[in-house]
């Protein structure tokens, strides 16, 4: 007997969020979670055997090499570049073929970094993808691998979701900003990169809703193809987002009367006052991360809170973790 959902990369930040979302929102589904490293999934024979064994109805690929800076540093290292490409470029095609062979659908996550350059327009799915950095190129090759399988096997069902600026787990942008500020190390932030922060939580819920649609379980069924997803709200720069995070954290901590938190509040507010916005030219990270999400919004599949709500949650979770045992019943 097969399983309903197979999650690849379940040990990663997005994979954990997807697994938790299914357990919370669709507990009657049978779920198999592969926690192996993304590179292992490039073994086509092993992936095919796994799919034949479990016979999933839907395969969700949440595995990826996401360290943008390290990926760029490895572009002249054949071994390192192979690791990046195996995870981001090879695995999606392997999974697509294995899923198609057992008549399963594939939900694959990609990135806004498949685009390059600047400008002020919102990128739509029909815009030409032309990434400059290693990470973006590897993810674009992965997209094309899935689309090639679709062209050769027209009955293969697939959804590719481009997302960016993900947060809501340890090591994310929110955590890095607050860690640096509390340690007195936050000095500057890029002011010429624009986008909308999006949480792992709502992205994982998108996976659940789209899976329900594919299985005919009361949600709209999306047509095959690429979709852009970002939470609603205004576009913001990295610099302004960092300042907002610092003020949100200071406001939440100021509600608690404790010596430890009073010092932290002052550190956060001081960091917000002193933070400088700088313009950076970075081939690996495009300045324009604005995504036009109208195609997905028109389906009515998901209607989440604004990104401001989820940033609040990420700040609160960081503070709960950092000050656990001191505060935080009051937050």
Query: What pLDDT is attached to residue 283?
Result: 87
Q: What is the pLDDT of residues 168-218, one digit of tens each?
A: 999 999 999 999 999 999 999 999 999 999 999 999 999 999 999 999 999
Confidence of residue 39 (pLDDT cuts 50, 70, 90): very low
Report pLDDT for 225.
97
Tokens of 104: 């399963």
Structure tokens at 8: 């690849």
Tokens of 84: 């990046």
Q: How far apart are the first and last CA of the chain?
A: 46
**How far is Cα 55 from Cα 76, in angstroms, rounded to an integer?**
39
What distances in angstroms separate CA 69 from CA 72, 74, 133, 203, 288, one per listed residue?
5, 9, 9, 23, 18
Report the b/e string of 60-82 with b at 16+ CB within 10 A. Answer: bbbbbbbebeebbebeeeeebee
For residues 40 and 288, which has the higher predicted lDDT (pLDDT)? 288
Which residues are bridge partners to 232 per DSSP?
A: none
Contact (CB, 8 A) for 284 and 72: yes
Residue 40, Cα to own-chain centre: how many angstroms? Answer: 20
pTM reported for the whole predicted model: 0.95
């Amino acid at each position: 007997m097969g399983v309903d959902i197979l999650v690849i990369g379940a040990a990663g930040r997005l994979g954990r969020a997807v697994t938790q979302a299914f357990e919370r929102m669709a507990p009657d589904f049978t779920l198999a979670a592969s926690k192996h490293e993304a590179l292992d999934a490039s073994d086509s024979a092993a992936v095919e055997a796994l799919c034949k064994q479990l016979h999933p109805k839907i395969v969700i690929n949440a595995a990826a090499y996401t360290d943008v800076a390290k990926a760029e540093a490895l572009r002249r290292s054949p071994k390192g570049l192979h690791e990046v490409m195996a995870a981001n470029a090879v695995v999606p095609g392997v999974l697509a073929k294995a899923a198609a062979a057992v008549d399963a659908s594939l939900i694959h996550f990609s990135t806004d970094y498949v685009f390059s350059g600047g400008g002020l327009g919102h990128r739509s799915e029909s815009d030409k993808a032309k990434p400059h950095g290693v990470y973006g190129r590897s993810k674009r090759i992965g997209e094309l691998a899935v689309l090639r399988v679709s062209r050769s096997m027209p009955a293969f069902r697939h959804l590719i979701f481009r997302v960016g600026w993900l947060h809501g787990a340890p090591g994310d942008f929110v955590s890095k900003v607050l860690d640096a500020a509390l340690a007195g190390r936050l000095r500057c932030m890029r002011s010429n990169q624009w986008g909308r922060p999006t949480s792992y939580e709502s992205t994982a819920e998108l996976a659940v809703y789209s899976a329900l649609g594919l299985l005919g379980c009361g949600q709209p069924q999306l047509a095959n193809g690429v979709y852009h997803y970002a939470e609603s709200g205004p576009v913001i720069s990295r610099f302004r987002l960092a300042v907002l995070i610092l003020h949100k954290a200071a406001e939440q901590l100021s509600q608690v009367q404790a010596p430890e938190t009073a010092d932290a509040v002052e550190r956060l507010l001081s960091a917000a006052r002193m933070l400088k916005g700088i313009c950076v030219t970075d081939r690996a990270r495009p300045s324009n991360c604005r995504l036009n999400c109208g195609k997905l919004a028109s389906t009515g599949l998901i209607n989440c809170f604004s990104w401001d709500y989820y940033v609040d949650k990420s700040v609160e979770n960081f503070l709960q973790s950092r000050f656990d045992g001191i505060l935080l019943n009051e937050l």
